[in-house]
């Protein structure tokens, strides 16, 4: 069966453009108005979706980790738990964001990092779910989210192909509408050999019924377009309004200009790949008229002349008509039916 991922009525497949996700994550710094502005700008940049993150921090972390001191320059609280709680939106805030996404005409969804957060998001009727790389081995979470019957996007950073196969075998019997993202779980990826984009080829062979994409942790935009050429049809990129804002993800996130260029380049490469059928294009006619040589008379020739190779030369005439060099054998050895002036173009009707 063909690989197709359907998100909010939009089909994503091998012959479509790229579905672009602006990963806001917690770059909104816990501020609802900032998040809404980021959604608006992401839409203006051409993104198809905005993604947030949802954790139930008290059940996500051990008590010891939740209560541990957190003195980082990126901290929003004196303990790690306080820091994480400051970045979470509650049900009222999510409801406002969902309504705003509808006004903008952009898909809003979130990563469910735990079972409680999955239930929280499902209570809000999320149209789509993300599974983080860290949870591809969390089969209970995979089963729960798959049971909602919503499209799923599953990142595959930091795991083996056996782990990805296990995730496939867990999700596929429950929910056929999901995709895998090749991902390198480094923030950011600094050594380009660690991208291993050819895993996209591997996934496309291993999972012929699954759309493949890229969760891209590069600071730039070139890897996403390369991934599209290899067959990725979903690209997720971290997004911010200001890379100097506080937060561990801000520095390698795309600012609006970068996101706009990424979307532009992905749209262009989709068109540029074409259908694989080699053909001449109308736009090539004028340039080639000035470059392609035609068969012309090497000197004045009289009707009745038996044409020799020395009677024919190749010249650019600036005309669209005329015989091409590969047609030389069609006139050599034949008899000229009319008088021809030097450098006049041959045509098939000139010989017999």
Write the CB contacts of 69 (distance below 8 Å, at least 6 apart in sequence). Answer: 78, 79, 80
Residue 248: what pLDDT?
Answer: 85
Residue 74 pLDDT exceeds 90: no
Count of C-beta atoms within a 10 Å radius of residue 8: 14
Q: What is the pLDDT of residues 172-207, one digit of tens each?
A: 999 999 999 999 999 999 999 999 999 999 999 999
Residue 25 pLDDT exceeds 90: yes
Burial class (CB in 10 A: 0-12, 13-18, 19+), 287: exposed
CATH of the domain at 304: 3.90.1210.10
Residue 286 pLDDT exceeds 80: yes
Q: For 79-84, what is the mean pLDDT?
A: 93
- Proportion of the chain above pLDDT 90, given as a percent: 94
Q: What is the pLDDT of residues 244-267, one digit of tens each?
A: 998 889 989 999 999 999 999 999
Residue 130: what pLDDT?
Answer: 98
Q: Are residues 84 and 209 in the same domain?
A: yes
Residue 103: what pLDDT?
Answer: 98
Whether 352 is covered by a domain: the verdict is no
Residue at a domain's end among 239, 273, 307: 273
Under a CB-based contact definition with an 8 Å cutoff, are residues 275 and 315 in contact?
Answer: no
- Residue of 239, 223, 215, 120 lying closest to 159 (CA atoms): 215
Residue 45: what pLDDT?
Answer: 98
CATH of the domain at 254: 3.20.20.70
Residue 182: what pLDDT?
Answer: 98
Residue 71: what pLDDT?
Answer: 87
Between CA 154 and CA 151 the distance in angstroms is 10
Within 13 Å and on the Cβ side, how many CA atoms surround 73? 6
Residue 1 pLDDT exceeds 80: no
Residue 38: what pLDDT?
Answer: 98
Q: Name the token pair of 157.
A: 């950073």
Across all residues in the chain, what is the average pLDDT?
96
The β-bridge relationship of strands 293-297 and 312-316 is antiparallel
Q: Are residues 15 and 99 in the same domain?
A: yes
Residue 304 pLDDT exceeds 80: yes
Residue at a domain's end among 252, 273, 294: 273
Q: Name the token pair of 256.
A: 């609006």
Q: Are residues 89 and 129 in the same domain?
A: yes
Residue at a domain's end among 273, 299, 320: 273
The β-bridge relationship of strands 129-131 and 4-7 is unpaired
Q: What is the pLDDT of residues 26-68, one digit of tens each?
A: 999 999 999 999 999 999 999 999 999 999 999 999 999 999 9
**CA distances (Å), 110 to each of 21, 53, 55, 281, in order?**
11, 5, 10, 44
Within 13 Å and on the Cβ side, how many CA atoms surround 111? 22
* Number of structural domains found in the chain: 2
Q: For 232-243, what is the mean pLDDT?
A: 97
Residue-range definition of the domain harbouring residue 291? 282-345
Q: Are residues 249 and 290 in the same domain?
A: no
**Phi/psi at 63 (5° precision):** -60, -40
Q: Are residues 124 and 240 in the same domain?
A: yes
Whether 127 is covered by a domain: the verdict is yes
Burial class (CB in 10 A: 0-12, 13-18, 19+), 136: buried
Residue 246: what pLDDT?
Answer: 87
**CA distances (Å), 326 to each of 215, 279, 286, 315, in order?**
50, 18, 21, 13
Residue 2: what pLDDT?
Answer: 86
């Amino acid at each position: 069966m063909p690989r197709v991922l359907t998100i909010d009525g939009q089909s994503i497949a091998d012959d479509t453009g790229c579905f672009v996700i602006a990963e806001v994550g917690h770059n909104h710094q816990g501020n609802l108005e900032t998040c809404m502005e980021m959604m608006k700008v992401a839409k203006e940049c051409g993104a198809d979706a905005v993604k947030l993150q949802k954790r139930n921090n008290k059940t996500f972390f051990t008590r010891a980790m939740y209560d541990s001191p957190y003195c980082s320059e990126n901290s929003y609280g004196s303990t790690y738990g306080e820091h994480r709680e400051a970045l979470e939106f509650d049900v009222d805030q999510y409801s406002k964001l969902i309504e705003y996404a509808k006004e903008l005409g952009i898909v809003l969804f979130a990563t469910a990092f735990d079972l409680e957060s999955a239930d929280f998001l499902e209570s809000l009727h999320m149209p789509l779910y993300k599974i983080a790389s860290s949870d591809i081995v969390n089969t209970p979470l995979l089963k729960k989210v798959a049971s909602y019957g919503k499209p799923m996007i599953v990142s595959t950073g930091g795991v083996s192909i056996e782990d990805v196969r296990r995730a496939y075998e867990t999700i596929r019997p429950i929910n056929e509408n999901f995709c895998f993202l090749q991902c390198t779980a480094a923030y950011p990826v600094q050594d380009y050999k660690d991208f291993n984009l050819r895993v996209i080829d591997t996934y496309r062979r291993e999972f012929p019924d699954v759309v493949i994409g890229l969760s891209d942790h590069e600071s730039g935009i070139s890897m996403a377009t390369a991934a599209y050429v290899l067959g990725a049809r979903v690209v997720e990129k971290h997004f911010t309004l200001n890379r100097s804002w506080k937060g561990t993800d801000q520095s390698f996130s795309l600012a609006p200009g970068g996101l706009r260029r990424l979307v532009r380049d992905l749209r262009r490469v989709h068109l540029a790949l074409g259908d694989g059928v080699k053909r001449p294009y109308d736009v090539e006619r004028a340039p080639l008229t000035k470059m392609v040589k035609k068969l012309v008379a090497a000197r004045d020739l009289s009707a009745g002349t038996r044409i020799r190779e020395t009677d024919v030369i190749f010249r650019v005439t600036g005309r669209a008509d005329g015989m091409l060099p590969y047609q030389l054998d069609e006139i050599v050895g034949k008899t000229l039916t009319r008088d021809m002036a030097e450098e006049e173009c041959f045509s098939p009707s000139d010989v017999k």
